[in-house]
Structure 1
Amino acid sequence: MPTPADGEPVTSLNLVDTDPAELPVDAVVIGVHSVAEPEAGRSPLLLASGAESIAAAFDGRLSETLALLGATGAAGEVTKLASLGTVTAPLVVAVGLGPEPTGAAPDAEVLRRAAGSAVRALAGSAGVALSLPLSDDPSGADATRALRAVAEGALLGGYRFVAYKSKPAPGRRDPVETVSVHVPDAGDETMRREVDRAVAVTAAVRQVRDWVNTAPNDLRPPDFADAIAGAATEAGLSVEVLDENALADAGYGGILAVGRGSSAPPRLVRVAYRPQGSAARHVALVGKGITFDSGGVSIKPAQGMWEMKSDMAGAAAVAATMLALAALKPAVAVTAYLPLAENMVSGAAYRPGDVVRMYGGKHVEVLNTDAEGRMILADAIARAAEDEPDYLVETSTLTGGQVVALGKRVAGLMGEPAFLERVKAVGDEVGEPAWPMPLPDDVRKGMESDVADISQVNAGMDRAGHMLQGGVFLSAFVPDGLSWAHIDIAGPSYHAGEPFGYWTKGGTGVPVRTLTALIEDVAANG
């Protein structure tokens, strides 16, 4: 399997407190806001906090000059201006932050996207300084939140996957080598810890993107299992990999059924993180790892099927979250279960009408082999529940119904209502929004089987409420009383359009930042 980072440098990040106008960098980035109704003769732009010394070097005419160049202050818009010696950096770059915020600083997600847009636009630069609005209190919550956002955006915005390029594309420029974030006090320990955290978390996000973007012929279940095991072992985590024989001996019928049609046999990877000393809470994470989904006998349409290489994004996100936890060391025990299979068509493939004995003994009537994710996840959830965790979180590219209902950027949430609100709050905080959805009784009733314990889908509803059907099915394998959440990332896990903010084309890394922040929240609050 090629290494996605081959020949592709990774941006480094540091803190500076030198006057931005005097920094010896290739470009200095400032923020600008749009003014909805500027007064007559006044600029339609408002310079954001952090741009004061740069503005002074331009004798107060910087906003007017940027407006003449076409800058509007729209969120994520990048406008470049040659400094002509007015400041040390040869280039001043204004990045739009949208309308002037009503509070003290822009929303964290606005800053995250702005930093990503600016750093991507400055590819080819050796050094870039970001002087974006942060709180004057370097250790305050607003300042750390803003710094986290800027650092994450900067480190992710320049990401690019070039593993299969035999030679550089014409005009391709390497990512920015070093980003310096301007803060009031570069020696502040709180700020320095935020940088360390951003480096660990964005490294995990980049790892997800690398795995998701890898061609499916190079990342079949045994390959993916080896890649996860290697990365986890290197990070100091404990790993167990069950091959097809071990899966059969233990009764993982769902994983085996889905993987039966492929010449590359399935795997179940267990990764465990244990903090030093005692842990008051234990969290189980489960991620769907379908390395390619043809739909099986219920084959998918050919159009766009190539994107099904991303059907393992849930497992990639969970595995990479474990790598982040190994670096951050929260005081929570975390165990991840990653079922990996390839859903293919062959004479050995499982069929509509089959009855599968799942891990734990439940029998499932298969009605659609393209609803394979829930089959492997049910086995993994049942096994994870045996560890008696306090919380169980599962994430998967489970249904196209998530995209129909919530679009490409908002994940679907199902599970125990109180816990869902907690997961939603964390996702909103880190810029990975999700929306709670119901688990209706009528959907469950329509999944009663004449021959088994449960049907895989609600045949009477067809595709209606398909996201809900997936959640209802999974809920049948969660023990009563366990706080759990299912995060459907079918849309947010893969971005097929042009880059924007800190998202580039391909895998996004969602929901690594949500899972990591949730674990930290459990460590802090139980």
Structure 2
Amino acid sequence: MQFLVKSSPVATLKTATLVVAIDEGGTLGLTASALDAAAGGAISNLLKRGDLTGKLGQTLLLHSLPNLKAERVLLVGSGKEAELTDRQLRKLVSATLNVLKGLGGSDATLALGELAVKGRDSYGKTRLLVETLADGGYLFEQFKSNKAEPLALKKITLLADKSELAEVERASLHAQAIASGMAFTRDLGNLPPNLCHPSYLAEQAKALGKAHKQLKVEILDEKQLKELGMGAFLAVAQGSDQPPKLIVLNYQGGKKADKPFALVGKGITFDTGGISLKPGLGMDEMKYDMCGAASVLGTLHAVLELQLPLNLVCILACAENMPSGGATRPGDIVTSMSGQTVEILNTDAEGRLVLCDALTYAERFKPQAVIDIATLTGACIVALGSNTSAVMGNDDALIEQLLSAGKAADDRAWQLPLFDEYQEQLDSPFADIANIGGPKAGSITAGCFLSRFAKKYHWAHLDIAGTAWISGGKDKGATGRPVPLLTQYLLDRVQ
């Protein structure tokens, strides 16, 4: 879908559908008033008859209003609040898109610039609006014989005041890049695990490298992982016929001397739990256990599209966790790349095992900051549900930057503590550390485990187990989160 920005008198706009907001009080804003005046009071007459009350998301489609160049006018209710919340704006935009999808016009013009959104300027509300529109058009139909009819809607124009054109255009460009990265992430997450395995992710990384000259791609295979001493990583992969891959993508958009930022993604392309086998019900959704790695690739996709002037290292720890005669057993002890030994008490706590070696590997890049992203713990879903990601780490400034980015991107996170008392739950009588800390505070003890391998740099951990995908039902699928949060964090570093 193409997005354009322009400034033009609303009554003279030639468009298939012109979208205008009407509040619940029936008060006409400047845009609606101009339309109403040009159309001889047609809109105000409809409101007096009660055809539209202006409730949030309510719509009314009008055809061939007199003296207007627009073929249709779509009135959409903005509710009774003087300022909309982010969630209310998304509902309004989604309701608009649902109507536009069913129309025959190839274009639409949105005259929604007057809407006030709490805490957002013209850039912020445009970002949210365009991301919602672009993400709302996402479909995953690669494996369907009967595909949906292609949308007639190809172009959306955002009407803006001349004084805000530059900011609205900038917001639209950023939003389109983020939405594109989210779609890339969603596609990878939604692919079946018999196709999307570690070698497939490696091929996707290579394809990105070929398309962008600033991007250097290195794929480390099982032999190289052994040479590096990544015993924790290899322990996860040894039960599968699919070979593990450590995928390293190095983007040089900044000065050569600038230290990079690093994103480390968990890429378990299917997680049976290993010998500590998961219940069968819903196990198909364990194809989403690579959404951390997918979100890193999606964020990189957005960074490449925007050509951000910074250096970024993306490290994807990719493996498949399967039960077999060669699989790791509960009670096994392995040696990580850092030299620390780990007693594996539960083979279903595998994400932290691949990540700990990837975090150690990240040291060689001397990064400004390292953020790991992982669908790490079911306990995170218990704590925060499916709306909010968890963040924890060893640097308060970095955590605050991520929380701020999440708020700005409407892709929110919440800090969990990493107090020393929790570390004691990982004590092992036989090794330096156990890979689980018991039933209490499971998300926090997982973060504590990772913190043991991230002491040489500023580090934060994002647990996206609840936010990376939607479970069950007709809406099941990857969400593309936390691409907006991560991209906003990187945008904040260069603005």
Same fold per superposition (TM over 0.5): yes
Deviates more, 1:244-253 or 1:401-410: 244-253
Would the aligned equivalents of 2:21 and 2:77 in 1 still touch at CA under 8 Å?
yes
Task: Give the Å deviation of 1:270.
Answer: 0.4
Task: Give the counterpart of 2:173 among 196, 204, 213.
Answer: 196
Cα distance in 2, alignment partners of residues 289 and 234 from structure 1: 22
Query: Is 1:73 aligned to 2:55, yes or no?
Result: yes
Residue of structure 1 in register with 2:429 after alignment: 450
Cα distance in 1, alignment partners of residues 303 and 454 from structure 2: 25
The alignment's C-alpha RMSD in Å is 2.7
Would the aligned equivalents of 2:254 and 2:309 in 1 still touch at CA under 8 Å?
yes
Residue of structure 2 in register with 1:101 after alignment: 82
Cα distance in 2, alignment partners of residues 398 and 62 from structure 1: 54
Would the aligned equivalents of 2:52 and 2:58 in 1 still touch at CA under 8 Å?
no
Query: Is 1:91 aligned to 2:72, yes or no?
Result: yes
Map 1:145-224; keep pairs closer than 5 Å.
145-169=124-148, 172=149, 174=151, 176-185=153-162, 188-224=165-201
Deviates more, 1:18-27 or 1:402-411: 18-27
TM-score for both structures, normalised by structure 1: 0.86
Deviations 1:248-285 (A, max 9, x none): 22122222111111111110100111125356442111
Cα distance in 1, alignment partners of residues 489 and 381 from structure 2: 24
1:215 to 1:20, Cα distance in 2 relative to 1, 3 A = farther
Q: Secondary structure of the residue that 1:28 maps to in structure 2?
A: strand
Deviations 1:47-75 (A, max 9, x none): 5664333344361645954984565523x
Would the aligned equivalents of 2:425 and 2:445 in 1 still touch at CA under 8 Å?
no
Would the aligned equivalents of 2:54 and 2:76 in 1 still touch at CA under 8 Å?
no
Cα distance in 2, alignment partners of residues 66 and 213 from structure 1: 48
Query: Is 1:26 aligned to 2:3, yes or no?
Result: no
Would the aligned equivalents of 2:46 and 2:52 in 1 still touch at CA under 8 Å?
no
Gaps of 5+ in 2: none
Residue of structure 2 in register with 1:507 after alignment: 478
Cα distance in 2, alignment partners of residues 334 and 113 from structure 1: 34
Letter in 2 for 1:100: E
Would the aligned equivalents of 1:288 and 1:395 in 2 still touch at CA under 8 Å?
yes
Residue of structure 2 in register with 1:338 after alignment: 316
Residue of structure 1 in register with 2:463 after alignment: 488
Residue of structure 2 in register with 1:5 after alignment: none
1:421 to 1:163, Cα distance in 2 relative to 1, 3 A = same
Cα distance in 1, alignment partners of residues 396 and 297 from structure 2: 26
Task: Give the counterpart of 2:203 among 226, 236, 255.
Answer: 226
Residue of structure 2 in register with 1:441 after alignment: 420
Residue of structure 1 in register with 2:356 after alignment: 378
1:307 to 1:58, Cα distance in 2 relative to 1, 3 A = farther
Deviations 1:10-33 (A, max 9, x none): x11111223334433332222344
Map 1:306-345; keep pairs closer than 5 Å.
306-345=284-323
Would the aligned equivalents of 1:401 and 1:466 in 2 still touch at CA under 8 Å?
yes
Cα distance in 2, alignment partners of residues 523 and 419 from structure 1: 15
Letter in 2 for 1:467: S
Gaps of 5+ in 1: 1-10, 35-43
Q: Percent identity?
A: 33
Task: Give the Å deviation of 1:341.
Answer: 0.8
Deviates more, 1:326-335 or 1:266-275: 326-335
Total equivalences in the alignment: 487
1:407 to 1:279, Cα distance in 2 relative to 1, 3 A = farther
Query: Is 1:16 aligned to 2:6, yes or no?
Result: yes
Letter in 1 for 2:332: D
Map 1:236-385; keep pairs closer than 5 Å.
236=213, 237-278=215-256, 280-385=258-363
Cα distance in 2, alignment partners of residues 99 and 272 from structure 1: 49
Task: Give the Å deviation of 1:185.
Answer: 3.1
Cα distance in 2, alignment partners of residues 238 and 67 from structure 1: 63
Task: Give the counterpart of 1:51 among 19, 32, 46.
Answer: 32
Cα distance in 1, alignment partners of residues 216 and 485 from structure 2: 23
